[in-house]
Amino acid sequence: MKEILPNEVSPLLKGNSPVHIIDVREVEEVKAGKIPNALNIPLGLVEFRMQDLDKSKEYIMVCRSGGRSSRAEQILENHGYKVLNMVGGMKGWEGPTE
């Protein structure tokens, strides 16, 4: 499993390369705030929505504390996607939210 820390994600958002973040929390949780431009796909829908994702891109998975995003990472990785798990989730996020 590949991991990335919240403080490593924040500078990526300020860079010139696109960053692809998938927030696997439930819709109600995301309403409280998410990383800007993150795509919300609740964990229970990841297997049904993976065909909407591009296997040539790398995705950073995010949830509240890192558990659900770890499961989502395993699902996507098993299907050939390039994925990183943001350890600590939104609990560790100190960057901007929307």
Q: Which of 9, 63, 83, 86 is an active site residue?
A: 63
- Provide the pLDDT for residue 1: 82
pTM higher than the cut 0.85: yes
Is 30 in contact with 45 (CB distance < 8 Å)?
no
Is 19 in contact with 2 (CB distance < 8 Å)?
no
Distance of CA 37 to the CA centre of its chain: 11
- Provide the pLDDT for residue 69: 97
Q: For residue 55, what are its two tokens?
A: 């296997």
Residues present in the chain in total: 98
Asked if 63 is an active-site residue, the reply is: yes
Express each pLDDT in 46-85 by its tens digit: 999 999 999 999 999 999 999 999 999 999 999 999 999 9
Express each pLDDT in 8-56 by its tens digit: 999 999 988 899 999 999 999 999 999 999 999 999 999 999 999 999 9
